[in-house]
Structure 1
Amino acid sequence: MPEMPEVQGLVQFLAGKLVPRGAAPAVVRDLQLGSFAVLKTADVSPAELSGKAFTDVERRGKFLVLSFDDAHLVLHLARAGWLRWSDTMPDAPLRPGKGMIAMRLRCSQPAGYGFDLIEAGTRKSAAAYLVRDVLDVPGVKRLGPDALDITEQEFVAMMRGHRNQLKGLLRDQSFIAGIGNAYSDEILHAARLSPFTLAANLDDGQLAALHTSMHTVLGTAITEAAGKPAKELKDAKRRAMQVHGRTGENCPVCGDVVREVSFADSALQYCATCQTGGKPLADRRTSKFLK
């Protein structure tokens, strides 16, 4: 799932293409739907974007926001969505219901520019919203503060006394925006904390360390993503992971084996030596955690 660093990388890449400094902005030729289910709103019709110039590209949590003078195209890539950019988009119209393409945006200026919103797998959850106000998107309206905007003092106050487990809190977009399954694993590993520890059980020093790890892990990932083409961002993310997605490999910090806890539709990875005092966590396949 694309998280804050990858979405920020997409923002930087798309801004260079669609609203380049010192040059005219790109202009929409058309917006076509490969899946009618991907469009979640009816405030603005796809036809209304034709002829509009881009004014901005930004990120809200894990949402990608493409703006025009009087409208916004807001994208959420969900678990398996991504943007596939091309400098030479095909002229043939998109055929709905064929393949992985959920949506296609083509530009008339520069001619040929554009991207496809694609989604792998059978579980389709990527979403597009055409709205007048970004806050008309329910998921954006519910967002908590951006992870990188939270000061240490604010973070300690937010977490103190909270009865939820750390893994779930870090992933809760209404609590802290931008962090998903992968980077929550990485942040907790860097902070040397168990994913199942209750926030209420941490002292101020541990909370400060967790805040530092959150900023360091996300900041490093954003720096690494900067300047990379859209097609390289996901692979760069995977290569940089210390524990997430590395079950059975050796922890790069202590050399212990990276372990996994599986759930119905996801999994987390951790190092027992670094995070749980050497004690492996129980496999909670029937747990409601992360639900």
Structure 2
Amino acid sequence: MPELPEVEALARFLGERTVGRTVVGADVGNIAALKTYDPPVTALVGATVRGWARHGKWLDMATFDDDGVDPHLLAHLSRGGWLRWYDEAPATAVRPRLGGSARGAVIALRVRLDDGSGFDLTEAGTTKRLAVHVVRSPDEVEQVRTLGVEPLSDAFTVEALGALLAARNQQVKGLLRDQSAIAGIGNAYSDEILHVARFSPYRLTRSFTPAETTALHAAVVGTLTAAVAASAGRPAKELKDAKRAGMRVHGRTGEPCPVCGDTVREVSFADRSMQYCPTCQTGGQVLADRRLSRLLK
């Protein structure tokens, strides 16, 4: 799933190529991905791109038009979604469909621009969660309106993190992934942050001392800043591989920890898994199951 660094890189990549261009086509390929109807997706046609932004893990294309609608195209790529850029977009029509295919990526939306370029929003896999919204303001989308603090903003201070940790007693990995608390961090970067900070993913949030809160804050900011820097300037097609290559523990079950050499371990859930280093994070204990493993200090 694309997270803050990759979505930020996509927003910058698209901003460099599309600002000032006029949308000449917006073809829906997967009707189920389109979550809004007013304004219609056709409101994008004839509008001029004025900029791209990121809200957590949401992409936002802002436009202006002569009708005063000034529609925004918002997209949440979810687990299997991605953006495919074309210097020369295909001229062939996108055939609408209700569902998806287990094989390959399905085109949810194709946007074509007046210089011949364009992009597809696509989704692979059998679970279809990609969400496309055409709205007058990003705040019309509840998931955007209710996002928590941006972790690379000035508002994300040690004190702000401390307040989130103290708000309710929960596993720290769950807090890091909670978009209503901290925007933009998902499963992969929460694994990376906790490995850098050397905390168990099962650590209870109210058990953090002031010094540990400072260490976790530094790990969040440092990990995301480095990932954004590593993604900057890369073409959209390279971002997924760059993300995987930069991971220390996430997705590296069975490999040696780059810090201590211990074997990276995994805990599996119904729809995801997490990776960690026992030596660095859990005092050597292997976490067999989230319901059975004890929380570690």
- Asked whether the two chains share a fold, i.e. TM above 0.5, the reply is yes
Match of residue 81 from structure 2: 81
Letter of the structure 2 residue corresponding to residue 226 of structure 1: A
Tell me by how many angstroms 1:285 deviates: 8.2
Percent identical: 51
Q: Tell me the residue number matched to 2:139.
A: 135
Aligned to 1:96: 96
2:48 to 49, 53, 58: 53
Give me the whole-angstrom Cα distance separating, in 2, the residues matched to 1:193 and 1:169: 13
In the other structure, the counterpart of 2:216 is 210
Q: CA deviation at 1:189?
A: 0.3
Question: What displacement does 1:276 show?
Answer: 0.3
How far off its partner does 1:96 sit?
1.7
Partners of 1:30 and 1:46 within 8 A in 2: no
**Secondary structure, aligned partner of 1:100:** strand
Which residue number in structure 2 is paired with residue 277 of structure 1?
283
Provide the C-alpha distance between the structure 2 equivalents of 1:285 and 1:234, rounded to a whole number of angstroms. 32
Aligned length: 280
Q: CA separation in 2, counterparts of 1:159 and 1:120?
A: 35
The answer to whether the 8 Å contact 1:264/1:286 transfers is no
Q: How does 1:47-196 map to 2 (within 5 A)?
A: 47-69=42-64, 70-97=70-97, 100-108=106-114, 110=115, 112-149=116-153, 150-160=156-166, 162-196=168-202
**TM-score normalized with structure 2 length:** 0.92
CA change 1:286–1:36 in 2 (3 A) is farther
**Residue-by-residue CA offset, 1:58-100 (whole Å, 9 max, x unaligned):** 1000000000121100000000100000011111111123861
Q: What secondary structure, in the 3-state scheme, does the structure 2 residue paired with 1:147 have? A: coil
2:242 partner letter:
A
- Could you tell me how far 1:14 is from its partner in structure 2? 0.2
User: What is the TM-score when the length of structure 1 is the normalising length?
Assistant: 0.94
Give the CA deviation at 1:44.
Answer: 1.2
Q: Would you identify which runs of 4 or more consecutive aligned residues in structure 1 move more than 3 Å?
A: 284-287
- Check whether the contact 1:264–1:285 (CA below 8 A) recurs between aligned residues: no
Q: What corresponds to 2:67 in structure 1?
A: none
Counterpart of 1:18 in structure 2: which amino acid? T
Which consecutive unaligned segments of at least 5 residues does structure 1 have? 20-24
Unaligned runs of 5+ in 2: 65-69
* RMSD of aligned residue pairs (Cα, Å): 1.4
Summarize deviations over 1:222-261 as a string: whole Å, max 9, x none.
Answer: 0011100000011000000000000000000000000000
